Structure 1
Amino acid sequence: MSQKLLVRRAAVLGAGVMGAQIAAHLTNAGVDTVLFDLPAKEGPADGIVLKAIGNLAKLSPAPLASKSLAAAITPANYETGLEQLRDCDLVIEAIAERMDWKQDLYKKIAPFVNDTAVLASNTSGLGINALAAVLPEQLRHRFCGVHFFNPPRYMHLAELIPAETTDKAVLEGLETFLTTNLGKGVVYAKDTPNFIGNRIGVFSILSVIHHTRQFGLGFDEVDAITGPLVGRPKSATYRTSDVVGLDTMAHVIKTMADTLPQDPWHKYFQSPDWLQALIAKGALGQKAGAGIFRKVGKDIVVLDLEKQDYRPADRKAADEVVEILKIRNPAEKFAKLRGSQHPQARFLWAAFRDLFHYSAYHLADIADTARDVDLAIRWGYGWSLGPFETWQAAGWKQVAQWIADDIAAGKAMSDAPLPAWVLDGREGVHAAEGSYSPASNSVVPRSSLPVYQRQRFPDPLLGEKFDQGTTVYENDGVRMWHDGDGIAVVSFKTKMNTVSDHVLNGLQEAISIAERDFQGLVIWQQKEPFSAGADLAGALGLLQAGKVDEFDALVANFQRTSQRIKYALVPVVAAVRGLALGGGCEFQMHSARTVAHLESYIGLVEAGVGLLPAGGGLKELAVRASRAAGPGGDVFAELKKTFETVAMAKVSTSAFEAKELGLLRPTDRIVFNAYELLHVAKAEARNLAEGGYRPPLPERRIQVAGDVGIATFRMLLVNMLEGRFISPYDDEIATRIATVVSGGEVDRGSQVDEEWLLRLERKHFVELAQQEKTQARIGHMLKTGKPLRN
């Protein structure tokens, strides 16, 4: 049994960009955190940290899951605050990347670190063993490197770098904490400069820079072919560099040049002239408003090396290359890339070839297995496949032969030979039983650490297949399955997990089966999003064909499904991650409990397409307001909190914010690791069932705000309309929303039942749907993905 790391309190040393954001994420995770920095020269001693905490609210994307959490971070400084380290169980050092500064700080804090605390350095590439050398004997076995990727809240990767003296139990305790409590994907790296992610990732960027020049391509052209077309983020290569900061890029390149003199690719570890020139001018990328790309008015311009000036960024991927990249079979795709004479295709083959060559050559030095390299690149750089997976998918032997041929012909960036294992007749490095490890020359399975038992479906590598469970029921909209543990799971099969007729009927059937044969039911999707809401295209089709009765029946069926979820005789638990919009949000509002991943973006967004929530969402808000107000209480005051959320189609930026917006309940759970979501949701369903679950009694006495509520909302809306904050059509939609949540034109304080509110919802929804402006809004959203303000 591995030792548990119990973290009651944590400290982060260094309140720079990274340190402050790590402290923010620890606080998101409910860890009481002290943030340290130097004492301020003037004003309060903790001034530097106080400023950093204040700055957290301004950063985008937001490091804090809720702005209110900033107040929970304790500020401290190294002069007067070191006593506070004594009760910290985890200390993460995140000061500037200078060996001497880090070592000096360790000497200063060592006497205050308690006997069981773990000390970790969040360095992106300095030697962990060299850092450990200055620590007192009793602290060395509790020290290691932990490298969070920026921004720490959102990037899944955390690299764990043991020193020679680090205890295995300490590493396993920290790995478990990082995985479950902070939601990370942990990869072990060896103590080599830049570890795994940045060693391979930055080399990939350097090779792209080299080949951009070699094939005479523009920066915008390269970004067009190194982004989504090859399974990488939209920001591709050069725009990513602008986002990271060109000075940061240059610093990492310099680290490689200084620390890897023996690397056969060493001559490429230098910032090109144009990069140095941009930095000298202060054009550091996004943070400076200009870098490789720059925004001029609404237009994007890009640096042109020929002209030594910016030009419109309009060079795209060539048709011939797009056609090659569309080929589904990777082996055929790579053969075409290698055979093409088009400069863009030749560029892509060369960049992949040198990446494969570099990754294979260095695998044994930097990582234990090929799996660690691929996961580090996927989680740290957002690629859909890592370098070894890409190579294996394209046909390992053939690609290896091509690389060897190019090395022999002097076409590769380096003449270093491919390692012998690459050419030993293997078909690849990943298989169902594990991934290749050069150290043991064998295939090593995934970690058996108990924390990974919580991941029913880990992030799969090429060649890995996970048992899909036993299918209980399936139609065109859903699949219901189980693992033999008494809890059934239902998953949607539609695009973006939207809600169609098949999904509605399938859910109702799944609930009936669960009531009969299972203890509980979890609504969970194998991939994000949870659900982007109703199938708008299908709905628009009915309206345009004038089938209003069928449309009305569809809405009634939606409401029936929500009510079935709420009143099921077994607990229905919604496991939410990613988008849960419109109907997706309404389903989780009706569930017995929601288990939401931290990155859940939840909202009743119907107003954006000229509609109002009619899957029981407004009815539930009225029910919750009545409950919160209590008999004879002020229902309007409760409604006011959520009205704006719906009328403005607000979407939460985290599960915490969804609670603040009233879209999640205080009792709903928040999970940090997306791969543990199903495990926790099943546990919740089982707990509810074991506790003798009964659905709520029907809501027959819902106290409503009535006509006075509607009139009061109207006053708010008139002010917004006159101030031009909303359009006249927005005003009409919002008035109808106000009418439904207030229970219609009845006396204030009247009591109504759920059926009354559902009928109101449906009436206003169907009336809005028939309006030209709403149909224009729906059409615009389907075409552009953006709301129309008409």
Structure 2
Amino acid sequence: MKRRIKKVAVVGSGIMGSAIACHFANIGVEVILLDIVPNELSEKEKKQGKSLEDKSVRNRIVDDALKTSLKSNPSPIYHQDFAKRITTGNLEDDIKKVKDVDWIIEVVVERLDIKQQVFEKLEKHRTPGTLISSNTSGIPIKFMTKDRSDDFKKHFCGTHFFNPPRYLKLLEIIPGPETSEEVLEFLNNYGEKFLGKTTVVAKDTPAFIGNRIGIFSIMSLFHMVKEMDMTIEEVDKLTGPVIGRPKSATFRTVDVVGLDTLVHVANGLYDNVPKDERHDLFKLPDFIEKMMDNKWLGSKTGQGFYKKVKKEDGSSEIKSLDLNTLEYREKKRAKFDVLDKTKSVDVVADRFPILIEGKDKAGEFYRKNFAALFAYVQHRIPEITDALYKIDDAMKAGFGWKHGPFQIWDAVGLDKGIELMKAEGYEVAEWIEELSKSEHNSFYSVKDGQTLYYDIDQKSFAKIPGQDDFIILDNIRQSNEVFSNKDLVATDLGDGILNIEFRSKMNSIGGDVLNGINTSMDIAERDFDGVVISNTGDNFSVGANIGMIFMFAVEQEYEELHGAIKYFQDTMMRMRYSSIPVVAAPHQMALGGGCEISMHADKIVAHAETYIGLVEFGVGVIPGGGGSKEMARRAAMTYQKDDVELNRLRENFLTIGMAKVAKSAHEAYDLNILERGKDIVVVSRDRQLAIAKQHALMMAENGYTQPVKTNNIKVLGRQALGAFLVGTDQMKAGRYISEHDQKIANKLAYVMSGGDLTSPQYVSEQYLLDLEREAFLSLCGERKTLERLQHMIKKGKPLRN
């Protein structure tokens, strides 16, 4: 029988429970969110004359928790409308409703006795065969099902979502002693395919996989920072983006998560893994104990390793904790010679061999840090998992590492890693010694586009399961390359579909990217059936290369700038009117030019976590790669008889004028950047490219016909232009916008109105593109625009002037 999840019950509405409920609502599942009934009335309820029998009182805890979650930033939900899929209730009046759900997820307080009581109540109403799981982060699964029925035990396991569930990809699945294989297989597939997770089946050991390795790594750094007399700024500099970790690195991450949360897990490990060879490492250093005593827990208490303070002039500054004096001081800039050697190395994996050879303190830090990490993970097999790739998957998906421990080890070389361990006095595991002497001598390899891992029991490589539904560009790029230049690679995806991949810094769009798109389109139209535009970067594209625009503008080389902007526009038209289908697959940031490229494709297959928008106002210009034209065209395409057409155009005008960015792909529909009925959203980033390829193939096979250039875009002329100019005057008079903001807005109004026409008329795309290009160029001659461009280049954020 096919198992489907149409309705879930989440029991416990705290931070995690509400966020898990929101993520199921994100994917279209109906959710019942339950919590306990309050013991007494609140002061507000007393004043309102309510009683403990009122439904609003009995649901107060769950309702307040969900409201708080929905207001949090970043939001746990893709779109606020999706919250309507969640129904709230309490564990006395509504527990019987669990009989109608397909999956019950318990997310109550981390106490075994309370969880067991909850499970006893749930079993009285649970329909046999219903999945049931606990979101515990450490309580042994085997203890939870005491006195439960055989059917309950068969369908029960741990499902440890990482916080926040919408954004962190890791879902650990921990079977109990009697969990059926069918349940494990279903949850493993469902988590990956429907929830967009990296699902990892873990053994029932303390802290499972992610937190076992992650907390070890942090605790190791806590001890190392004192041993090497390092500052927190130095450690965060060395453990951030340079090695493929989040910008928050180590100490800022702890501040965000909460020191108490980390200490709770560390203490649990200290108590429950007495035979761990690094057991003493989980004992809290003195400075952590002192911070706990002072309640310096991080963001939640206003201070931790960092503290924001107000200066006398009213501005704020961030101060850092001196770990020797435990006093806050001004932040110190951290600089290391070895980091300079990696600045030109874009591929993170290629930096590791350079970093460990450093002759400065940073080099010593990396040698010690990686040696400790390698030594620890080698001994966790088979204790926490039998397969080494699961450790890497857990660290990447749960802690935001670009490379897991064994991938880092492969990057520096197996034998070099052994050398680092021995230099620090660590014992080398027997299986590592065997691997070193074997013909393999690495943890991973690639064959036929599939990633293989070293299977310790079989002493040979095995395919990582679950890859059949993925296309892994890193595995096929070299063998399937069709064309490349400095900033772009075109790769044959098979079945007649070509992938166009940006490879520039931050995937910005400059001359080489545009040249590459045009050349790739020529090749594709000659030899392929369709095109996908996707890449493996942290972001799809942050937009046009504003450094190039600034250089042309400041040198007043307007002919060159005119040519560059026209080339961008022509490239967008080249894509739109290609003889074969073009599918864009944006993810994360798709800003400015990245948004324009997506909007000119035949179809967008967006990852749910796509933050897309036309943000050019922030650098003093309007969208110049077809974005302004496109928003005018899209408004015109929606005009219906008796519409107030100006209102539809105004929506798109404000999308650009307010530099709106969708905070999820679903929000992009509201901004008219994604089009309903044409573009789609996928939750699984791993499957996105394969799905995009399927859609390109489907369009090609169903008789794709080259579009005819349109000449029937209705523009409103003075009717719209006058209204927009009055609006910008009012905004300026009210001091909502600056004089330069008004100038930019008026230029945009002129373009989207179709110019100063006496009456509505029908025009071509090229007509609007010419207006757009003229407005863009004129703004590039403004001093305040140059100031904005320069500020963005130097500071990475917009200037209001």
Q: TM-score, normalising length from structure 2?
A: 0.90
Q: What is the CA deviation profile of residues 266-310 of structure 1, one whole-angstrom value per residue up to 9, with x for unaligned ones?
A: 333233333233333332211111112211122222222433422
Give the aligned residue type for 1:38.
Answer: I
Displacement after TM superposition at 1:178 (Å): 0.9
**Match of residue 587, structure 1, among 592, 597, 602:** 597
Give the aligned residue type for 2:124.
Answer: P
Equivalent residue number for residue 670 of structure 1: 681
Equivalent residue number for residue 407 of structure 2: 389
Equivalent residue number for residue 357 of structure 1: 375
Bigger shift: 211-220 or 632-641? Answer: 211-220
SS in 1 for 2:634: helix
Equivalent residue number for residue 52 of structure 2: none
Equivalent residue number for residue 446 of structure 1: 463
Displacement after TM superposition at 1:730 (Å): 0.6
Displacement after TM superposition at 1:765 (Å): 1.3
Equivalent residue number for residue 69 of structure 1: 82
Is the contact between residue 524 and residue 574 of structure 1 (CA under 8 Å) also seen in structure 2?
A: yes
Matched, 1:598 2:577: no
Alignment CA distance shift 1:747-1:695 (3 Å): farther
**Match of residue 273, structure 2, among 241, 255, 260:** 260
Residues in 2 aligned to 1:315 and 1:580: alpha-carbon distance in whole angstroms: 31
Residues in 2 aligned to 1:276 and 1:506: alpha-carbon distance in whole angstroms: 56
Displacement after TM superposition at 1:4 (Å): 5.1
Displacement after TM superposition at 1:699 (Å): 2.9
Equivalent residue number for residue 38 of structure 2: 40
Equivalent residue number for residue 780 of structure 1: 791
**Match of residue 651, structure 2, among 627, 631, 641:** 641
Residues in 2 aligned to 1:331 and 1:570: alpha-carbon distance in whole angstroms: 44
SS in 1 for 2:608: strand
SS in 1 for 2:691: helix
Equivalent residue number for residue 499 of structure 2: 489
Q: What is the CA deviation profile of residues 678-707 of structure 1, one whole-angstrom value per residue up to 9, with x for unaligned ones?
A: 111111122223333335543323222321
Alignment CA distance shift 1:395-1:500 (3 Å): closer
Bigger shift: 376-385 or 689-698? Answer: 689-698
Is the contact between residue 300 and residue 312 of structure 1 (CA under 8 Å) also seen in structure 2?
A: yes
Equivalent residue number for residue 573 of structure 1: 583
**Match of residue 228, structure 2, among 212, 215, 240:** 215
Give the aligned residue type for 2:764.
Answer: D
Matched, 1:310 2:328: yes
Give matches, 1:109-508, under 5 Å: 109-297=122-310, 298-314=316-332, 316-319=334-337, 330-331=352-353, 333-334=355-356, 336=358, 342=361, 345-404=363-422, 406-407=424-425, 417-424=427-434, 425-426=436-437, 427-432=441-446, 434-438=452-456, 440=457, 442-443=459-460, 445-449=462-466, 452-457=467-472, 465-466=475-476, 468=478, 470-475=480-485, 478-508=488-518
Matched, 1:733 2:760: no
Equivalent residue number for residue 18 of structure 1: 16
Q: What is the CA deviation profile of residues 156-178 of structure 1, one whole-angstrom value per residue up to 9, with x for unaligned ones?
A: 21112122212222212111111
Matched, 1:743 2:754: yes
Residues in 2 aligned to 1:46 and 1:469: alpha-carbon distance in whole angstroms: 59
Q: What is the CA deviation profile of residues 167-207 of structure 1, one whole-angstrom value per residue up to 9, with x for unaligned ones?
A: 22221211111112111112221110101111111111112
SS in 1 for 2:132: strand
SS in 2 for 1:483: strand
Alignment CA distance shift 1:447-1:214 (3 Å): closer
Residues in 2 aligned to 1:164 and 1:27: alpha-carbon distance in whole angstroms: 31
Residues in 1 aligned to 2:131 and 2:175: alpha-carbon distance in whole angstroms: 12
Residues in 2 aligned to 1:280 and 1:115: alpha-carbon distance in whole angstroms: 48
Matched, 1:537 2:547: yes
Residues in 2 aligned to 1:231 and 1:486: alpha-carbon distance in whole angstroms: 34
**Match of residue 652, structure 1, among 642, 658, 662:** 662
Residues in 2 aligned to 1:156 and 1:585: alpha-carbon distance in whole angstroms: 25
Alignment CA distance shift 1:761-1:331 (3 Å): closer
Displacement after TM superposition at 1:318 (Å): 4.4
Q: What is the CA deviation profile of residues 763-786 of structure 1, one whole-angstrom value per residue up to 9, with x for unaligned ones?
A: 211211222222232222222222
Is the contact between residue 10 and residue 31 of structure 1 (CA under 8 Å) also seen in structure 2?
A: yes
Structure 1 unmatched runs, 5+: none
Residues in 1 aligned to 2:461 and 2:10: alpha-carbon distance in whole angstroms: 34
Residues in 2 aligned to 1:476 and 1:630: alpha-carbon distance in whole angstroms: 47
Give the aligned residue type for 2:739.
Answer: P
Equivalent residue number for residue 53 of structure 2: none
Give the aligned residue type for 2:245.
Answer: R
Residues in 1 aligned to 2:782 and 2:726: alpha-carbon distance in whole angstroms: 24
Give the aligned residue type for 1:455.
Answer: F
Alignment CA distance shift 1:748-1:631 (3 Å): farther
Give the aligned residue type for 1:355.
Answer: L
Residues in 1 aligned to 2:618 and 2:394: alpha-carbon distance in whole angstroms: 38
Is the contact between residue 66 and residue 656 of structure 1 (CA under 8 Å) also seen in structure 2?
A: yes
Is the contact between residue 565 and residue 590 of structure 1 (CA under 8 Å) also seen in structure 2?
A: yes
Matched, 1:31 2:48: no
SS in 1 for 2:736: coil
Give the aligned residue type for 2:537.
Answer: K
**Match of residue 716, structure 1, among 706, 727, 733:** 727
Equivalent residue number for residue 789 of structure 1: 800
Equivalent residue number for residue 562 of structure 1: 572
Residues in 1 aligned to 2:653 and 2:218: alpha-carbon distance in whole angstroms: 48
Q: TM-score, normalising length from structure 1?
A: 0.91
Is the contact between residue 188 and residue 368 of structure 1 (CA under 8 Å) also seen in structure 2?
A: no
Alignment CA distance shift 1:39-1:761 (3 Å): same
Give the aligned residue type for 2:382.
Answer: A
Alignment CA distance shift 1:480-1:192 (3 Å): same
Residues in 1 aligned to 2:538 and 2:221: alpha-carbon distance in whole angstroms: 31
Residues in 1 aligned to 2:767 and 2:476: alpha-carbon distance in whole angstroms: 47
Displacement after TM superposition at 1:476 (Å): 5.0
Give the aligned residue type for 1:453.
Answer: D
Alignment CA distance shift 1:111-1:368 (3 Å): same
Is the contact between residue 230 and residue 325 of structure 1 (CA under 8 Å) also seen in structure 2?
A: no
SS in 2 for 1:44: helix
Is the contact between residue 37 and residue 76 of structure 1 (CA under 8 Å) also seen in structure 2?
A: yes
Bigger shift: 730-739 or 47-56? Answer: 47-56
Residues in 1 aligned to 2:462 and 2:424: alpha-carbon distance in whole angstroms: 33
Percent sequence identity over aligned pairs? 37
Structure 2 unmatched runs, 5+: 42-55, 311-315
Give the aligned residue type for 1:779.
Answer: Q
Is the contact between residue 10 and residue 33 of structure 1 (CA under 8 Å) also seen in structure 2?
A: yes
**Match of residue 5, structure 2, among 4, 7, 20:** 7
Residues in 2 aligned to 1:745 and 1:329: alpha-carbon distance in whole angstroms: 56
**Match of residue 752, structure 1, among 763, 773, 789:** 763
**CA RMSD of superposed structures (Å):** 2.5
Q: What is the CA deviation profile of residues 383-403 of structure 1, one whole-angstrom value per residue up to 9, with x for unaligned ones?
A: 232222323332323432453
Give the aligned residue type for 1:445.
Answer: A
Equivalent residue number for residue 679 of structure 1: 690
Task: State the aligned residue count.
Answer: 768
Residues in 2 aligned to 1:590 and 1:181: alpha-carbon distance in whole angstroms: 28
Alignment CA distance shift 1:658-1:732 (3 Å): same
Matched, 1:615 2:625: yes
Give the aligned residue type for 1:58.
Answer: K
Alignment CA distance shift 1:428-1:511 (3 Å): closer
Is the contact between residue 356 and residue 364 of structure 2 (CA under 8 Å) also seen in structure 1?
A: no
